Amino acid sequence: MATLIKMPKLSDTMEEGVILKWLRKEGEKIKQGDILVEIQSDKADMELEAYDSGVVRKIFVPEGGKAPIGGLIAIIGAPEEDISAVLSGSPTVSASKAGAQANPTLSPTSQASTTAELLDSKGKASPLARRLARENRIDLTAVSGTGPQGRVIKRDLEGMISGKPAGATPVSRPIIPGTAEDVELSPIRKTIAKRMTESKTTAPHFYVTVEVDMDPAMTFRDQINAVKEIKLSFTDIIIKATSEALMKHPQVNATYLGDKMRQYHYTHIGVAVALEEGLVTPIVRNCEQKRLDQINAELRDLVERARTRKLKPDEYLGATFTISNLGMFGVEEFAAIVNPPEGAILAVGGIIEKPVVRNGEIVIGHTMKVTLSSDHRIIDGVVAARFMQDFKKILENPASLVL
């Protein structure tokens, strides 16, 4: 019996996937467990295995093409099997296991759709929906339609449309060739755009900045690196110091859940890593239980794999707090946007050599500015200030981090 292969849901925030590579062409045999296709989600590149053996009878989405979650991408069947029934919408066709995983995100209407409707559903939208999408810069291919044959209609866009009058929305105008270019947004970019907008428009942010004397941390790092076979970074030290401070202030290590907040007794710290097309935040888990050298090794591996897009979903989902460090670019200080559903994010500036007052005298010292952005729905100013006070104290007395 022919099996429909549908776009699987590879991350919680994924809405569509890009086909990177088909490892089997139409007409080629495939065994159960073989890799059929590489798919790029909004977070990472993933491989999709075949759950049944057979022949790839039909590929619907070419390499580089996109499909929404649950969208039909291929059919696997027996070599001589008549798949015309499948193509015309026979109800006897079973969805693949990968497709079944994707099903919970489909609307009831879409679930009831026949195969023919799925085949026919690409890009259907009412004229009104098209206009609203244009005015609000919504990618309609990422919206699952609840109208007949998956047609995207007005109600599918409600909630995605900002309250601004249409005229205030930037509308793309034709460009003069050679003077500008339009670059298609990558899935990662779209996710960032959506989540950051959601954060900044729903979470009331406030910012608390402190300046940390970094001379002790510099000495501390040099001492460890001089003796141990590792290259401890300031980021490692900041992660550990943050973890210690978070354990003392669970209100900052928390998630807003509408009618309650969840405070964590562990610290999963996400570290923002820049990629060409955006950024990901791999997570160092349970930092409160890890030594500095363990954090160092783990982070090194995570960053390496983030840059080659080999992270698995559980390596970038579920942080309780995030650190973003732009110090290496000569940034003195900046403010970050809270990464929902987390309650706060720490923006780390560079270590600056400058005159400081110590024991009543001006001497040359090294300082670093860090800014905590907090979601005021769950974190108050005093809570943020106390957290930063402790963070500064720990970082200025780094020897405590080895205990």
Shortest Å distance, C-beta 130 to other proteins: 7
CB atoms within 10 A of CB 36: 22
Residue closer to other proteins by CB (options 61, 157) is 157
Cβ at position 161, least distance to other proteins in Å: 13
Cβ-count burial 340-374 (b if 16+ within 10 Å, e if not): bbbbbbbbbbbbbeeeeeeeeeeeeebbbbbbbbb
Count of chain residues binding other proteins (CB under 8 A): 12
Cis peptide preceding 62, ω within 30 of 0: no
- By beta-carbon proximity to other proteins, the closer residue of 128 and 363 is 128
Residues of span 246-265 touching other proteins by CB under 8 A: none
For residue 128, which phi and psi values (nearest 5 degrees)?
-65, -45
- Considering beta carbons, is residue 150 or 350 the nearer one to other proteins? 150
SS (H, E, C) 362-383: EEEEEEEEEEEEEECCCCCHHH
Distance CA(94)–CA(116), nearest Å, equals 14
- Which lies closer to other proteins via its Cβ, residue 128 or residue 402? 128
| 153 lines the binding site for other proteins (CB under 8 A) | yes
Q: How many CB atoms lie within 10 A of CB 54?
A: 19
Instruction: Compute the least distance from the CB of residue 127 to other proteins, in Å.
Output: 5
Please confirm, yes or no, whether 376 is among the known catalytic residues: yes
Query: Which tokens hold the place of 12?
Result: 């919680």
Q: Give the active site residue among 249, 265, 366, 376.
A: 376
| Minimum distance from residue 163 beta carbon to other proteins (Å) | 18
Stretch of 39-47, 152-160, 192-200, 384-392 contacting other proteins, by CB under 8 A: 152-160
Three-state SS at 293? helix
Nearer CB in complex with other proteins: 61/129: 129
Task: Please state the closest distance from residue 108 (CB atom) to other proteins, in A.
Answer: 12
Q: Give backbone dihedrals phi and psi of 65, rounded to 5 degrees, phi first.
A: -85, 165
Query: Min. distance of Cβ 240 from other proteins in angstroms?
Result: 55
Task: Provide DSSP, 131-149.
Answer: HHHHHHT--GGGS---SGG
Single residue of 21, 29, 155, 377 touching other proteins by CB under 8 A: 155
Q: Does 169 sit near other proteins (CB under 8 A)?
A: no
Which two three-digit tokens encode residue 68? Answer: 């929404």
Rank residues 127 and 170 by Cβ distance to other proteins and give the closer one. 127
For strand 361-375 and strand 283-284, is the pairing parallel, antiparallel, or unpaired? unpaired
Would you give the binding string for other proteins spanning residues 112-151, x where CB under 8 A is met?
Answer: --------------xxxxxx--------------xxx---
Residue 83: partners with Cβ closer than 8 Å, 6 or more residues away: 2, 57, 58, 75, 77
Q: Between residues 90 and 146, which has the closer beta carbon with respect to other proteins?
A: 146
Q: Choose among 45, 41, 44: nearest CA to 17.
A: 41
Q: What is the nearest approach in angstroms of other proteins to the Cβ of residue 146?
A: 7
For residue 106, state whether it binds other proteins (rule: CB under 8 A).
no
- Which residues contact other proteins by CB under 8 A? 126-131, 146-148, 153-155
User: Which of the residues are catalytic?
Assistant: 376
